[in-house]
Amino acid sequence: MLTTKMFNSHIVSADWLKANSSLKNIIILDATINKVIDKTSQRIPNARFFDIKKKFSTIDAPFSSTLPSQAQFQKEAKNLGICNDSLIVVYDDKGIYSSARVWWLFKTYGFNTIAVLDGGLPEWVQHGFKVETYTNETYNLGDFNAKDNTLLMTNFKGVNQYSKDKNTLIIDARSQARFKCLVDEPKAGLRRGTIPNSKNLPFTDLLNGYKLKSKPQLSKIFNNLVDDKTQFVFSCGSGITACILALAATILDYNKLIVYDGSWTEYGSLTELKES
């Protein structure tokens, strides 16, 4: 059995997953957002659907994809059969998109033996590896124990403090056009804008097709941006793609990394209310 001590990567290849997918304690999670599970839905064999929107977010929160409570996260993870000694590989159908959010959620609740599948389902399919359709499944209740590490997330009050901190850099993962207020926000009624003292690094700049760019390429991108800052806060539209930046920064061995959970959806909404 592959032990948690042997599993220390933040990202794994399709070849690695194919070679190790039958190991007893590996759990594969499909983190595709807004996926409708039916008899035609494709998955990597034995993958379990991780429902970000309906089970792993606070449903009645004013902003989408809001961090769930520790109790909710623990309950839903147990329902998926996740245990404290599980080794998790998470993927999505876009390559690297919502899978990074799931990776960060688990870190936020004290679980580190999780990796993102580089290139996700498209890379798996491109390799010619087997896919299957979903079936109605139940899992043995896991013994997952969530631990509070929510300092990895911040909120509206926190990001306002970070924006005034000379040692902190806020990096926005939205497109350059959105960051520069050249186009409307996708969310209807949400104003254009940027968080004060933030810089732009579109998450797509970190990708080469479906996969994350090489470590030297990522290092060059970050070195051109971070200056002498010692702490980084990642933002985006709603807290999803900010986690891709956090993934890349972790691979590069940066520390003191924080994700702004509500991101621009929250910040633009609350500052608009304050100004009106």
Judge whether 236 counts as a catalytic residue: yes
Query: How large is the angle between the packed helices 98-108 and 242-251, nearest 10 degrees?
Result: 70
Sequence-distant (≥ 6) Cβ neighbours of residue 86 within 8 angstroms:
25, 26, 27, 113, 142, 144
Helix (H, G, I), strand (E, B) or coil at 12: strand
* CA 86 to each of CA 11, 78, 96, 111, 250: distance values in angstroms, whole numbers, following the listed order: 16, 11, 22, 10, 21
Encoding tokens for residue 47? Answer: 């993958």
83, 181, 236, 243: which one is catalytic?
236
DSSP letters of 183-251? S--SSTTPPP---TTEEE--GGGGEETTEEPPHHHHHHHHHHHHTT-SEEEEE-SSSSTHHHHHHHHHH
If one counts every other C-beta atom within 10 angstroms of the C-beta of residue 72, the result is: 16
Encoding tokens for residue 275? Answer: 């100004």
* CA 95 to each of CA 121, 151, 178, 221: distance values in angstroms, whole numbers, following the listed order: 6, 28, 22, 20
Q: Which residues are catalytic?
A: 236
